[in-house]
Chains A and B, each alone.
Chain A
Amino acid sequence: MEGRIQHLLLSLVAACASVGFALAAPPALGATAEDLELEPLVVREPERNPVQVDEIDTENFEIGVFGGLMSVEDFGTNPVAGVRVAYNVTEDFFVEGVYARTQLDQTSFERLSGGAQILTDDERDMGFYNVSLGWNLFPGEAFVTSRYAFKGGLYLVAGVGSTEFGGDNRFTINAGFGYRMVATDWLALHLNVRDHMFDSDLLGENQTRHNIEFTGGLTFFF
């Protein structure tokens, strides 16, 4: 009798435990059973997506800063600083936009006359922007000692823009050349010489003014 009750209780516990297990982890048990049946029959190919050329990282844009000296005709030579954005359309041509600011000194007339002022202090701040087309004339490598070779080359640029000169905006043509030295894939060093030409009648007669700018800068490819 005692043995029978013990047996009954034990089988009840066993039944509860198995139900409990089944409730606790039914998917895992099910999946294992299915996998065991299917795994040997199905050979899974690794999933490969076709190559999406548009998804490849492109680095056609350059953004950067530059600084140097700018000589404004009759108004002395002063530091100039600006920002530059460029888009490399092909390996030969690029389009660039520049914005920069500089200062104007006193003209010789203002200094010699004693007190005469042609411009107010505000008007001595000069700013300009331009959009230019660049042509990589002599692409190549520069060898620095026998250890390093930097890609780069000489380019020509020319474009149009506007200069805020003596309180007015002047249509400005710029032309010049530059040297690009690509230090790493994403960083380039630039040296630039430009002539900014605009007409002005600020000092009496209307004449074309040549303003030479010499700068160095850094740009990042992205």
Chain B
Amino acid sequence: MNICKLASLWLLAACLLWLPDRAVAAGWFEDYEPAVVVSDPFIEMHTGPGRGFPIFYVAGQGDEVTILKRRTDWFKIRYTEGHRSKEGWVHIDQMRHTLDLDGNEIEFGQMGLAEFSKRRWEVGMTGGDFNGARTISGYLGFAVTPNIALQLEGTQILGDFSDGKMATASILMYPFPNWRVSPFFTIGTGIVRTEPQTTIVAAEDREDEIVHAGAGANLYLSDRFILRLEYKRHTVLTSRDDNEEINQWKAGFSIFF
């Protein structure tokens, strides 16, 4: 037992010493700060990452600037002249007017309908109605192809007489992934756990399997935002004689990556 402990301690120590070393070697902590050249007459440097922040400097055509970091659509750049340097924020629209050091155009990209239809990951939340109770759900989706996505969802059900938790896995089919309003069909399965409120006497917690089928639509708003409306019909596979049918309506939003 002691030898085991000692060995695991050694292993832990080795990992602790080795991992940071590897991380530094692999460049995990080294920031990528590429240099670019201004190709337009000038680009405007703002004091902060927002349209309202004042412009305090302009870098002119042919000037070389270093990109330090990005926040939303704003890039923090450093412009060095002699041994004086200025740091400011430039909007992506103006960064498009820069070239790399070989004089090639840089692909800055921007979120749009094309990116929406090609999205891979989606994280979202919805609120809704579950047979009279309110629901809050969080979901994670992964698009296997533009037409088919897998989704894991966790739901908290908040009713007047009982609470519940539901976990489901679903497949979503998007017949028209390129449309701004993109309808989908879904089927899936999961479990639901019901806990009666404390002000209600007796009644026990139960856990049941649940299957569902539904339909809905995603509306691409802008940037990374999607609005979602969805209807699902759940069948609770109870241990009683009859299965229970439940309608769920929900609306929410998601962000895609």
Chain A interface residues (CB < 8 Å from chain B): 48, 50-53, 55-60, 87-91, 93, 95, 131, 133, 136, 139-141, 149, 151, 160-162, 166-171, 182, 185, 201-202, 206, 221
Q: Are A93 and B108 in contact (CB under 8 A)?
A: no
Q: Are B72 and A91 in contact (CB under 8 A)?
A: yes
Q: Which single residue of chain B is at the shortest CB-CB distance from A123?
A: B198
Tell yes or no: B176 within 8 A of A by CB: no
Q: A74 CB to closest chain B CB, in angstroms?
A: 16
Q: Are B32 and A52 in contact (CB under 8 A)?
A: yes
Q: Looking at the complex, which one of B69, B125, B138, B160 makes contact with A59 (CB distance below 8 Å)?
A: B69
Q: Are B255 and A141 in contact (CB under 8 A)?
A: no
CB neighbours of B72 from chain A (8 A): 60, 88-91
Q: Which single residue of chain A is at the shortest CB-CB distance from B91?
A: A91
Once bound together, how far apart are the Cα atoms of A167 and B163, in whole Å?
A: 11
Q: Are B48 and A141 in contact (CB under 8 A)?
A: yes
Contact with A along B185-201 (1 / 0, CB 8 A): 00000000000011100
Which residues of chain B from 67 to 86 have any CB-CB distance to chain A below 8 Å in the complex? 67-76
Q: B102 CB to closest chain A CB, in angstroms?
A: 5
Interface size on B, residues (CB 8 A): 48
Q: Which single residue of chain A is at the shortest CB-CB distance from B54?
A: A141
Tell yes or no: B51 within 8 A of A by CB: yes
Q: A218 CB to closest chain B CB, in angstroms?
A: 18
CB neighbours of A133 from chain B (8 A): 253
Q: Are B255 and A56 in contact (CB under 8 A)?
A: no
CB neighbours of B104 from chain A (8 A): 50
Q: Are A93 and B106 in contact (CB under 8 A)?
A: no
Once bound together, how far apart are the Cα atoms of A162 and B222, in whole Å?
A: 28
Q: Are B255 and A149 in contact (CB under 8 A)?
A: no
Q: Looking at the complex, which one of B34, B47, B68, B136 makes contact with A141 (CB distance below 8 Å)?
A: B47
Q: B242 CB to closest chain A CB, in angstroms?
A: 27
Tell yes or no: B127 within 8 A of A by CB: yes
Which residues of chain B from 32 to 85 have any CB-CB distance to chain A below 8 Å in the complex? 32-34, 36, 47-53, 67-76
Chain B interface residues (CB < 8 Å from chain A): 31-34, 36, 47-53, 67-76, 100-102, 104, 106-109, 125, 127, 134, 136, 138, 156, 158, 160, 163, 197-199, 222-225, 253, 255
Q: B156 CB to closest chain A CB, in angstroms?
A: 6
Q: A199 CB to closest chain B CB, in angstroms?
A: 8
Once bound together, how far apart are the Cα atoms of A149 and B125, in whole Å?
A: 36
Residue from A93, A201, A206 with most neighbouring chain B CB atoms (10 Å):
A93
CB neighbours of B32 from chain A (8 A): 52, 55-57
Q: Which single residue of chain B is at the shortest CB-CB distance from A120?
A: B198
A91-B50, A168-B199 known; 7 other A-B pairs, CB under 8 Å?
A: A57-B69, A93-B225, A131-B136, A139-B53, A160-B127, A160-B136, A169-B158
Q: Looking at the complex, which one of B36, B156, B163, B224 makes contact with A89 (CB distance below 8 Å)?
A: B224
Q: Looking at the complex, which one of A50, A88, A90, A151 makes contact with B106 (CB distance below 8 Å)?
A: A50
CB neighbours of B70 from chain A (8 A): 56-59
A87 and B136 contact, Cβ closer than 8 Å, known pairs A53-B107, A139-B50, A185-B76: no
Q: Looking at the complex, which one of B68, B76, B106, B127 makes contact with A53 (CB distance below 8 Å)?
A: B106
Q: Which single residue of chain B is at the shortest CB-CB distance from A152?
A: B48
Q: Are A162 and B158 in contact (CB under 8 A)?
A: yes
Once bound together, how far apart are the Cα atoms of A58 and B224, in whole Å?
A: 15
Q: B195 CB to closest chain A CB, in angstroms?
A: 9
CB neighbours of A221 from chain B (8 A): 71
7 A-B pairs with the lowest CB-CB distances in the bound complex, closest first: A171-B158, A171-B134, A151-B48, A167-B198, A55-B32, A51-B34, A57-B69
Q: Which single residue of chain B is at the shortest CB-CB distance from A200?
A: B199
CB neighbours of A89 from chain B (8 A): 72, 223-225, 255
Q: Are B53 and A52 in contact (CB under 8 A)?
A: no
Q: B257 CB to closest chain A CB, in angstroms?
A: 10
A56 and B67 contact, Cβ closer than 8 Å, known pairs A50-B100, A151-B53, A162-B136: yes
CB neighbours of A57 from chain B (8 A): 31-32, 68-70
Once bound together, how far apart are the Cα atoms of A7 and B214, in whole Å?
A: 102
CB neighbours of B222 from chain A (8 A): 90
Q: A55 CB to closest chain B CB, in angstroms?
A: 4
